[in-house]
Structure 1
């Protein structure tokens, strides 16, 4: 049964940690079964990696991306298998948009695992290690951050790339330009402006070569019409045409993530309750900053999963 007031959101990179989903997997065979499917594609044991590996291993973007996709899909399968309501809409933050595509029936899970591994590899290869960086800016409005970036470029690339919530923007680009923009944001009155431990300047023009290399692989995979509307990062609108969705998933690699606008769109469309379907509560925290009237649930442990089931039952 569909709950029109319910939305699912899927996290991106940064939510991974060793031991994630271990507790819920003990009572939900759907979790390790989904990881086993992904492992067949990847050629290594993804569940063992995230339970017994090292944090630096799961932080490698070509491993992080399949890991988070698989975690989100596993939890969504469990949700539906336990009688959880069908949401009225979906959105995903960066990589999380691929999780939304799988859960909405646009692309097959195993195809998505392959594509996001390639996405991660190509994004890492697009910029030499150490020559690009990202930084979080807290307490400055979007326009002031954009002005600071424009004045700091000096022939290099630096831009706002994640509009996460009012007063929280991530910038990225060439390392020297990002450092200049950090100083400019501080001078403009930012409460905090700090480098992030990220290996590449995601969602900038520097990622366009990665998008161009991934594009033929995306084009070769079948995309179907979404069963549940997905609000896309690039323009904060839903799209039903599979060809248009493919184009958006290519553009998404080098376009900003307009998360504030995506959240505002799903709320305007009638969302009252929201489930973060993946490890952690990063997106729930952002959503609360955007609109405190929205009830947010996590589902990455047995207690919160069962609580969300009860709270969203039609």
Structure 2
């Protein structure tokens, strides 16, 4: 396969699970070595946590974010070690954008692990637990959902469309009363499903602006370089080479919608024919296939899926 036809993508929150990457960790020493690096940066045994810990602990956003970033970077390093070809583009969903920037050589791994733990803390404390909610909406077009959210927000509080994941699949978020109101209106408008998600904060809404301000301060102390492989950013679905602009996009991303459909369309327009998802689960592979049926989508989370992904590009 031509390098220009390949993109690697990195998952966001929701893909974490106890026991993830266990087989890869037993088969390839570099997986555990990457987790050991992250453990040194954070001061606890991350591999033990993901293999033997509680799912509830993994689901705390300040834990989830460094765990998933480390898993993605570990798989990326394994891909390179096993002779996988260099991709033309990288992209990540929300948190996954930080994973992409590490793999692109723009952000040091240890800095990123500490940064996303702080990001998780900032996001969790921006809105008190119990005051925010998110919901997945299936079966309506984007414009309808945006309009209904605006209607629901009248008098009920903040509710916004925050993840444009694939055609007919959008996530909304905001204050509990406003999200509940939007769910009622969306169902009345013909949504196939409008269901609350088990998350602890209204991510990617304007309510996250205080978290963005704190992240900006944290980023000020971190060195960011121009990516060696272009990264497609969630905020606008384009690549960016200027480190100062990338920092701004990472701040804006916290309180802006994730335009995943736009990211994938940009990759396809650039000639990408195959995407490989690095890390646990197949969430992005499923979304990518729904966005563009012609894409070949693979994921790497086990020795067998690694072999299939390597074979796909040979």
* Aligned equivalent of 1:140: 140
* Aligned equivalent of 2:237: 236
* Aligned equivalent of 1:311: 312
Task: For residues 230-287 of structure 1, give each alpha carbon's deviation from its aligned partner in whole angstroms, at most 9, with x where no partner exists.
Answer: 1100000000001000000010000000000101110110100110011110000001
Distance 1:271 1:4 in 2: 6
* Aligned equivalent of 2:288: 287
* Aligned equivalent of 1:7: 7
Task: For residues 22-72 of structure 1, give each alpha carbon's deviation from its aligned partner in whole angstroms, at most 9, with x where no partner exists.
Answer: 011111111110000101111111100000001000000000000000000
1:1-314 matches, within 5 Å, as 3-155=3-155, 156-313=157-314
Worse overlay, 213-222 or 45-54: 213-222
- Length, aligned pairs only: 313
SS in structure 1 of the partner of residue 37 of structure 2: helix
Q: Which runs of 4+ in 1 moved over 6 A?
A: none
Distance 2:2 2:63 in 1: 33
Distance 1:56 1:248 in 2: 30
Distance 1:85 1:184 in 2: 47
Contact kept in structure 2, 1:7 and 1:90, CA below 8 Å? yes
- In structure 2, the gaps of 5 or more residues are none
Distance 1:264 1:78 in 2: 27
Distance 1:192 1:286 in 2: 17
Distance 2:59 2:31 in 1: 21
1:100 Cα deviation after fit = 0.2
Task: For residues 279-311 of structure 1, give each alpha carbon's deviation from its aligned partner in whole angstroms, at most 9, with x where no partner exists.
Answer: 110000001111111001111100110111111
Worse overlay, 150-159 or 268-277: 150-159
Distance 2:8 2:268 in 1: 12
Query: TM-score scaled by structure 2?
Result: 0.99
1:217 Cα deviation after fit = 1.0
Distance 2:267 2:2 in 1: 15
SS in structure 2 of the partner of residue 248 of structure 1: helix
Contact kept in structure 2, 1:137 and 1:190, CA below 8 Å? yes
Query: TM-score scaled by structure 1?
Result: 0.99
Task: For residues 89-109 of structure 1, give each alpha carbon's deviation from its aligned partner in whole angstroms, at most 9, with x where no partner exists.
Answer: 011000000000000000000
Distance 2:100 2:255 in 1: 19
1:154 Cα deviation after fit = 2.1
CA RMSD across the alignment: 0.9
1:219 Cα deviation after fit = 1.6
SS in structure 2 of the partner of residue 78 of structure 1: helix
Contact kept in structure 2, 1:211 and 1:254, CA below 8 Å? yes
Contact kept in structure 2, 1:2 and 1:86, CA below 8 Å? no
Distance 2:217 2:129 in 1: 25
